[in-house]
Structure 1
Amino acid sequence: MILDNCKIVDLPRVTDPRGNLTFVEAGRHIPFEIKRVYYLYDVPGGAERGGHAHKALHQLIIAMSGSFDIHLDDGFSKKTVHMNRSYYGLYVCPMIWREIDNFSSGAVCMVLASAYYDEDDYYRNYASFREDIGKEPAHENSVS
Protein backbone atom coordinates (compact mmCIF):
# COMPACT_ATOMS: atom_id res chain seq x y z
CA MET A 1 0.00 0.00 0.00
CA ILE A 2 1.33 3.42 -0.96
CA LEU A 3 -0.39 4.92 2.07
CA ASP A 4 2.03 3.05 4.34
CA ASN A 5 4.83 5.29 3.01
CA CYS A 6 3.15 8.34 4.56
CA LYS A 7 4.34 8.59 8.13
CA ILE A 8 5.15 10.92 10.97
CA VAL A 9 8.75 12.10 11.09
CA ASP A 10 9.92 12.94 14.60
CA LEU A 11 12.11 16.00 14.07
CA PRO A 12 15.04 16.86 16.34
CA ARG A 13 14.28 19.06 19.34
CA VAL A 14 16.81 21.18 21.13
CA THR A 15 15.25 22.27 24.41
CA ASP A 16 16.35 25.43 26.12
CA PRO A 17 14.77 27.52 28.88
CA ARG A 18 14.85 30.48 26.45
CA GLY A 19 12.77 28.57 23.89
CA ASN A 20 13.03 25.35 21.92
CA LEU A 21 14.49 24.80 18.46
CA THR A 22 13.60 22.23 15.83
CA PHE A 23 15.32 21.78 12.48
CA VAL A 24 14.88 19.78 9.29
CA GLU A 25 17.75 18.58 7.12
CA ALA A 26 17.09 17.35 3.58
CA GLY A 27 18.41 13.85 2.96
CA ARG A 28 18.75 13.27 6.70
CA HIS A 29 15.28 13.76 8.18
CA ILE A 30 13.35 13.70 4.92
CA PRO A 31 14.04 11.68 1.76
CA PHE A 32 14.15 14.63 -0.65
CA GLU A 33 15.87 17.90 -1.41
CA ILE A 34 13.78 20.93 -0.41
CA LYS A 35 13.00 23.08 -3.45
CA ARG A 36 10.00 25.02 -2.13
CA VAL A 37 8.52 26.07 1.20
CA TYR A 38 5.02 27.45 1.61
CA TYR A 39 2.58 27.86 4.46
CA LEU A 40 -1.14 28.17 5.07
CA TYR A 41 -2.43 30.60 7.69
CA ASP A 42 -5.55 32.62 8.56
CA VAL A 43 -7.66 29.68 7.36
CA PRO A 44 -11.30 30.54 8.19
CA GLY A 45 -13.23 28.22 10.50
CA GLY A 46 -14.79 25.31 8.61
CA ALA A 47 -12.58 25.82 5.53
CA GLU A 48 -10.75 22.97 3.82
CA ARG A 49 -7.44 23.06 1.97
CA GLY A 50 -5.77 20.50 -0.25
CA GLY A 51 -8.30 18.52 -2.24
CA HIS A 52 -5.66 17.25 -4.67
CA ALA A 53 -2.85 14.77 -5.24
CA HIS A 54 0.60 15.09 -6.79
CA LYS A 55 2.08 12.85 -9.46
CA ALA A 56 5.73 13.23 -8.40
CA LEU A 57 5.98 15.74 -5.54
CA HIS A 58 7.15 14.70 -2.06
CA GLN A 59 6.11 16.85 0.92
CA LEU A 60 6.68 17.22 4.62
CA ILE A 61 3.76 18.93 6.35
CA ILE A 62 4.28 20.55 9.77
CA ALA A 63 1.85 22.23 12.18
CA MET A 64 4.00 25.23 13.08
CA SER A 65 1.26 26.56 15.34
CA GLY A 66 -2.15 25.26 16.34
CA SER A 67 -3.58 22.08 14.86
CA PHE A 68 -5.37 20.59 11.86
CA ASP A 69 -6.32 17.21 10.40
CA ILE A 70 -4.85 15.72 7.22
CA HIS A 71 -6.94 13.10 5.42
CA LEU A 72 -4.84 10.83 3.19
CA ASP A 73 -6.19 8.52 0.47
CA ASP A 74 -4.18 6.31 -1.91
CA GLY A 75 -7.32 5.13 -3.74
CA PHE A 76 -7.40 1.87 -1.81
CA SER A 77 -7.30 2.93 1.83
CA LYS A 78 -7.62 6.11 3.87
CA LYS A 79 -6.26 7.49 7.11
CA THR A 80 -6.48 10.73 9.05
CA VAL A 81 -3.56 12.26 10.92
CA HIS A 82 -4.05 14.97 13.54
CA MET A 83 -1.18 17.45 13.44
CA ASN A 84 -0.55 19.51 16.57
CA ARG A 85 3.19 19.47 17.36
CA SER A 86 5.82 21.64 15.65
CA TYR A 87 8.43 18.90 16.06
CA TYR A 88 6.43 16.34 14.04
CA GLY A 89 6.24 16.38 10.28
CA LEU A 90 4.00 14.24 8.12
CA TYR A 91 5.83 12.86 5.10
CA VAL A 92 3.46 12.57 2.11
CA CYS A 93 4.74 10.68 -0.91
CA PRO A 94 3.49 11.11 -4.50
CA MET A 95 0.11 9.72 -5.59
CA ILE A 96 -1.70 10.45 -2.33
CA TRP A 97 -4.93 12.45 -2.36
CA ARG A 98 -4.96 14.83 0.59
CA GLU A 99 -7.47 17.11 2.26
CA ILE A 100 -6.72 19.33 5.24
CA ASP A 101 -9.41 20.59 7.60
CA ASN A 102 -10.32 21.22 11.25
CA PHE A 103 -7.87 24.13 11.51
CA SER A 104 -7.66 25.59 15.01
CA SER A 105 -7.64 29.34 15.48
CA GLY A 106 -4.19 30.69 14.63
CA ALA A 107 -3.02 27.46 12.98
CA VAL A 108 -0.04 27.66 10.63
CA CYS A 109 0.60 24.74 8.27
CA MET A 110 4.08 24.75 6.71
CA VAL A 111 4.90 22.50 3.76
CA LEU A 112 8.38 21.56 2.54
CA ALA A 113 8.23 20.38 -1.07
CA SER A 114 10.63 18.46 -3.32
CA ALA A 115 9.96 20.55 -6.46
CA TYR A 116 9.10 24.01 -7.65
CA TYR A 117 5.44 24.72 -8.35
CA ASP A 118 4.23 22.88 -11.47
CA GLU A 119 0.51 22.79 -12.24
CA ASP A 120 1.05 19.72 -14.46
CA ASP A 121 2.03 17.72 -11.35
CA TYR A 122 -1.46 18.10 -9.81
CA TYR A 123 -4.51 15.89 -9.86
CA ARG A 124 -7.36 18.23 -9.03
CA ASN A 125 -10.08 15.76 -10.03
CA TYR A 126 -10.52 12.73 -7.76
CA ALA A 127 -11.98 10.54 -10.52
CA SER A 128 -8.93 11.18 -12.73
CA PHE A 129 -6.62 10.36 -9.82
CA ARG A 130 -8.37 7.05 -9.20
CA GLU A 131 -8.38 6.14 -12.89
CA ASP A 132 -4.61 6.69 -13.09
CA ILE A 133 -3.92 4.47 -10.09
CA GLY A 134 -5.93 1.71 -11.74
CA LYS A 135 -9.12 1.87 -9.77
CA GLU A 136 -12.47 2.89 -11.15
CA PRO A 137 -13.86 6.04 -9.58
CA ALA A 138 -16.61 5.53 -7.07
CA HIS A 139 -20.00 6.24 -8.57
CA GLU A 140 -22.50 8.26 -6.65
CA ASN A 141 -26.06 7.09 -6.59
CA SER A 142 -28.43 9.90 -7.38
CA VAL A 143 -32.04 10.00 -6.35
CA SER A 144 -34.52 11.66 -8.70
Structure 2
Amino acid sequence: MKLNQSYLIELPKIFDDRGNLSFLEGSNHIPFEIARTYWIYDVPGGEIRGAHAFKQQEEIIIALSGSFDIVLNDGKSEQVYSLNRSYKALYVPKMIWRSMQNFSTNAVALVAASTSFNVDDYIRDFDEFCKIKNDGVRI
Protein backbone atom coordinates (compact mmCIF):
# COMPACT_ATOMS: atom_id res chain seq x y z
CA MET A 1 0.00 0.00 0.00
CA LYS A 2 1.11 3.55 -0.70
CA LEU A 3 0.54 6.76 1.23
CA ASN A 4 -1.83 8.06 -1.42
CA GLN A 5 -4.21 5.26 -0.42
CA SER A 6 -4.62 6.94 2.97
CA TYR A 7 -7.24 9.67 3.02
CA LEU A 8 -9.41 11.85 5.20
CA ILE A 9 -13.11 11.07 5.47
CA GLU A 10 -15.66 13.73 6.36
CA LEU A 11 -18.25 12.02 8.56
CA PRO A 12 -21.89 13.13 8.72
CA LYS A 13 -22.61 16.11 10.98
CA ILE A 14 -26.01 16.74 12.47
CA PHE A 15 -26.14 20.27 13.86
CA ASP A 16 -28.37 21.00 16.84
CA ASP A 17 -28.54 23.89 19.30
CA ARG A 18 -28.28 21.31 22.08
CA GLY A 19 -25.02 19.91 20.67
CA ASN A 20 -23.87 18.30 17.46
CA LEU A 21 -23.77 14.62 16.54
CA SER A 22 -21.56 12.69 14.14
CA PHE A 23 -21.41 8.97 13.39
CA LEU A 24 -19.79 6.34 11.21
CA GLU A 25 -21.10 3.13 9.74
CA GLY A 26 -18.93 0.25 8.57
CA SER A 27 -19.00 -0.30 4.80
CA ASN A 28 -20.94 2.96 4.41
CA HIS A 29 -18.56 5.67 5.56
CA ILE A 30 -15.52 3.44 5.79
CA PRO A 31 -14.19 0.78 3.40
CA PHE A 32 -14.39 -2.20 5.77
CA GLU A 33 -16.54 -3.89 8.38
CA ILE A 34 -15.51 -2.95 11.90
CA ALA A 35 -14.17 -5.91 13.88
CA ARG A 36 -12.80 -3.97 16.85
CA THR A 37 -12.70 -0.48 18.32
CA TYR A 38 -10.32 0.94 20.88
CA TRP A 39 -9.39 4.38 22.15
CA ILE A 40 -6.22 6.05 23.32
CA TYR A 41 -6.33 8.71 26.05
CA ASP A 42 -4.37 10.27 28.93
CA VAL A 43 -1.23 10.36 26.77
CA PRO A 44 1.52 12.18 28.67
CA GLY A 45 3.09 15.20 26.96
CA GLY A 46 5.74 14.29 24.42
CA GLU A 47 4.81 10.61 24.18
CA ILE A 48 4.44 8.81 20.84
CA ARG A 49 1.87 6.07 20.33
CA GLY A 50 1.72 3.49 17.58
CA ALA A 51 5.09 3.28 15.83
CA HIS A 52 4.15 0.11 13.99
CA ALA A 53 2.48 -1.24 10.87
CA PHE A 54 -0.10 -3.95 10.34
CA LYS A 55 0.21 -6.74 7.80
CA GLN A 56 -3.57 -7.06 7.34
CA GLN A 57 -5.41 -4.59 9.56
CA GLU A 58 -6.96 -1.41 8.17
CA GLU A 59 -7.97 1.43 10.47
CA ILE A 60 -10.03 4.56 10.78
CA ILE A 61 -8.67 7.05 13.34
CA ILE A 62 -10.74 9.92 14.78
CA ALA A 63 -9.83 12.66 17.26
CA LEU A 64 -12.94 12.50 19.45
CA SER A 65 -11.51 15.20 21.70
CA GLY A 66 -8.49 17.45 21.45
CA SER A 67 -5.91 17.01 18.73
CA PHE A 68 -2.91 14.95 17.66
CA ASP A 69 -0.79 14.27 14.59
CA ILE A 70 -0.56 10.99 12.73
CA VAL A 71 2.67 10.40 10.82
CA LEU A 72 2.31 7.84 8.02
CA ASN A 73 5.22 6.26 6.16
CA ASP A 74 5.13 3.79 3.26
CA GLY A 75 8.83 2.96 3.42
CA LYS A 76 9.76 5.68 0.92
CA SER A 77 7.89 8.82 1.88
CA GLU A 78 6.13 10.32 4.86
CA GLN A 79 2.95 12.34 5.35
CA VAL A 80 1.56 14.03 8.46
CA TYR A 81 -2.16 14.41 9.18
CA SER A 82 -3.34 16.68 12.00
CA LEU A 83 -6.64 15.50 13.44
CA ASN A 84 -8.62 17.99 15.52
CA ARG A 85 -12.27 17.61 14.53
CA SER A 86 -14.52 14.75 15.65
CA TYR A 87 -16.21 14.62 12.23
CA LYS A 88 -12.95 13.96 10.36
CA ALA A 89 -11.55 10.44 10.17
CA LEU A 90 -8.29 9.20 8.69
CA TYR A 91 -8.30 5.93 6.75
CA VAL A 92 -5.01 4.00 7.12
CA PRO A 93 -4.66 0.91 4.92
CA LYS A 94 -2.59 -2.14 5.82
CA MET A 95 1.20 -2.03 5.43
CA ILE A 96 1.57 1.66 6.29
CA TRP A 97 3.80 2.59 9.24
CA ARG A 98 1.95 4.89 11.61
CA SER A 99 2.79 6.85 14.71
CA MET A 100 0.69 9.27 16.72
CA GLN A 101 2.26 12.27 18.42
CA ASN A 102 1.71 15.84 19.65
CA PHE A 103 -1.33 14.90 21.74
CA SER A 104 -3.11 17.89 23.25
CA THR A 105 -4.30 17.83 26.84
CA ASN A 106 -7.37 15.57 27.16
CA ALA A 107 -7.06 14.24 23.59
CA VAL A 108 -8.98 11.04 22.84
CA ALA A 109 -8.22 8.99 19.73
CA LEU A 110 -10.85 6.48 18.60
CA VAL A 111 -9.66 3.68 16.31
CA ALA A 112 -12.00 1.41 14.36
CA ALA A 113 -10.14 -1.64 13.03
CA SER A 114 -10.90 -4.19 10.35
CA THR A 115 -9.57 -7.14 12.37
CA SER A 116 -9.61 -8.44 15.90
CA PHE A 117 -6.41 -8.08 17.92
CA ASN A 118 -3.65 -10.34 16.62
CA VAL A 119 -0.12 -9.81 17.91
CA ASP A 120 1.26 -11.59 14.82
CA ASP A 121 -0.22 -8.89 12.55
CA TYR A 122 2.11 -6.21 13.96
CA ILE A 123 5.42 -5.12 12.45
CA ARG A 124 7.16 -3.21 15.25
CA ASP A 125 10.62 -2.71 13.75
CA PHE A 126 10.84 0.10 11.18
CA ASP A 127 13.88 -1.39 9.42
CA GLU A 128 12.06 -4.71 9.02
CA PHE A 129 9.02 -2.83 7.68
CA CYS A 130 11.17 -1.05 5.09
CA LYS A 131 12.73 -4.35 3.98
CA ILE A 132 9.28 -5.86 3.51
CA LYS A 133 8.00 -2.81 1.61
CA ASN A 134 11.05 -1.99 -0.49
CA ASP A 135 12.76 -5.35 -1.00
CA GLY A 136 9.65 -7.44 -1.59
CA VAL A 137 10.25 -9.65 1.45
CA ARG A 138 7.26 -11.97 1.89
CA ILE A 139 5.27 -11.65 5.10
Global fold match (TM > 0.5)? yes
Structure 1 position 77, deviation (Å): 1.1
Partner-residue secondary structure (3-state), 1:110: strand
1:131 match = 131
Alignment of 1:1-144 (within 5 A): 2-135=2-135
TM score, norm. by length of structure 2: 0.95
Percent sequence identity over matched residues?
Answer: 49
- Partner letter of residue 67 of structure 1? S
Would you say the 8 A contact 1:70–1:100 is kept in 2? yes
Instruction: State how many pairs are aligned.
Output: 136
Structure 1 position 135, deviation (Å): 4.1
- CA distance 1:11–1:61, change in 2 (3 Å): same
Cα RMSD after superposing both structures? 1.2
TM score, norm. by length of structure 1: 0.92
Runs of 4+ in 1 over 4 A off after TM superposition: none
Distance of 1:118 and 1:125 partners within structure 2: 16
Structure 1 position 56, deviation (Å): 0.7
Gaps of 5+ in 2: none
Partner-residue secondary structure (3-state), 2:134: coil
Distance of 1:5 and 1:17 partners within structure 2: 36
Gaps of 5+ in 1: 137-144
Structure 1 position 134, deviation (Å): 2.3
Distance of 1:133 and 1:83 partners within structure 2: 26
Q: Which has the larger radius of gyration?
A: 1
Would you say the 8 A contact 1:75–1:135 is kept in 2? no
Distance of 1:99 and 1:118 partners within structure 2: 18
- Partner letter of residue 88 of structure 1? K
Distance of 1:130 and 1:75 partners within structure 2: 5
Partner-residue secondary structure (3-state), 2:34: coil
